[in-house]
Amino acid sequence: MTRDTSISAVAAALTWRQVRRPYFFALFSVHSFFVAYSMSIVEIPRALKGEPEWIVGFVVGVFGIAGMLTRPLTGVWVDRGGSRQRWVRLGAVGVALSFAGYMLDLGPWVMVIFRCVQGVAMGVFTTAMLAIVGNMLPPERRGSGLGFYQAANAAAALYGAALAVFVIDRFGFGPAFLLSGGTALLALVLALGTGDPAAPPPRVAGTPGRGLHGLISPTAMLPALVFACVTTPWGTITAFLPLFALERDLGNVGLFYTAAGLAQLTARVSAGWIGDRIGRDLVVVPALGAAGISLIVLSQVQSPVVLILCALAFGFGLAATQTSIAVIVIERTPPAILGSGMATYTMAWDVGQVVGAILLGLLVDATSYSLVFALTALFPVAGVVLFLTRVSERTAKATVEG
C-alpha cells in the first residue's frame, strides 16, 4: 500500500462521530490562537506611536518576512510525516514568548526580534493545524468542516482588536500583551485535545515532496498569488490604519476589525457552499471587486460610519477569496504534497505583510496614508486579471482539454 493510499484509507475510515471531539477542540484552539493575533494588530502599531512610518511598517511587516521564509519548510516537514502536534505546540509557545518579549518594551529594533519569533511560530502553528484538520475530516464533511474551521479564526477578529484597544486605554500595554500571550497558551492547552486522528505514516525515500522542489507547490502557486492580491492591502491596513484613524479622528479603530471580522465570518461559512453550487469563478471575481472598491473609499474616508462600511466590504472580499482559493488548492493538489500546498497557499498572508507593510510603508513615509490606500486598490484588479486568465475553473478546464 502506498503512502497516499494509507492516508486516504485512514481519513475515509474515520467517521464524523470519531473526529467530532478533536475537531471541536481544533476550532476552539485556532480561535484562541487568532485572538492573540487580532490583538497584536492594534497593539504593535500603537506601541510604536511616535516612530517614523517606515519603522512602524518594518516592525509590523518583518513578521511576514519571518513567516514567509519558514512556512515552506514547515509544509515539507508536515508532508514528511512525524508529529504534527509537535509543530502545533511549538507554534503556540513561540507566540506566547513573543508577547512576553513585547512586554519588555526595549524599543523597535528589539521588538523586531520578537516579531520574527511570532511570524515563524504562527506559520508553524497554522500550517500544522490546517493539515491535521484537513486530514481528519471525512470526505463528505471536508468542505463544510474547513469552512467552519476558517470561520473560527475569523471570529477572533470580532472582538480581538477592540479588546486590545480597551485594555491598552484602561490598563496599558503590559496587561494587553500579557492577555495576548495568555490566549496563545490557551490555544496550546486546547490543541492537546485535538491530537492527530489521521496522522500519516513516516515518509519513505523516493516519495514526492522531498528536496528543495517540494518547498513551493506548483498547483498552489498561482492561486496563492491571487489570494496575495487581497492580503497585500490587508497588510497595509494592519500596519497603518490605526495611525490613519488617529490622524482623521475616526474613533475606535478596533471597531473596523470587528466589522471586518463579522463580514469574514459570514463569507467563510457561505463562500464554499455558494461556490459548490454556482462555481468558484462567480465568487472570487465579485469578492475581489468588493475589496478594490472598499480600498478606494477607505482612502477618502472622513467618518466612522463609512469606515465600518469599508470594513464590511473588504472583510467580505478577503474572506470569500480566501475560502474559494483554499478549495481550489485542495482540489488541485495531490494528497502526498498537500502540506506543501497549504503552506504555499497560506504564505500569501506573509507576502501580504511584507509588500503591504514594509514596501508600501516606504511609500507612506514619502507620500500619505490616503494615497497608499488608493494605490492598494490596484492589487485586487490585478487579482481579477490573474484569476480569469490563469486560475479560474474555465481556464483550468480549457488547459486540460487542450
Handedness of CA 166, 172, 175, 180 (dihedral sign): positive
CATH number of 19-196+213-401: 1.20.1250.20
pLDDT at 154: 81
86 CB-near residues (< 8 Å, 6+ apart): none
pLDDT digits (tens, 9 = 90+) for 285-341: 999 999 999 999 999 999 999 999 999 999 999 999 998 898 888 778 776 677 788
Contact present, 372 and 363 (Cβ < 8 Å): yes
pLDDT digits (tens, 9 = 90+) for 46-68: 999 888 888 988 898 888 788 78
Average pLDDT estimate for 259-275? 86
Q: Per-domain residue ranges for the chain?
A: 19-196+213-401
SS (H, E, C) 284-339: HHHHHHHHHHHHHHHHCCCCHHHHHHHHHHHHHHHHHHHHHHHHHHHHHCCHHHHH
pLDDT at 278: 84
DSSP count for the chain of H helices, then E strands: 17, 0
pLDDT at 199: 64
The whole model's pTM is what?
0.78
pLDDT at 68: 80
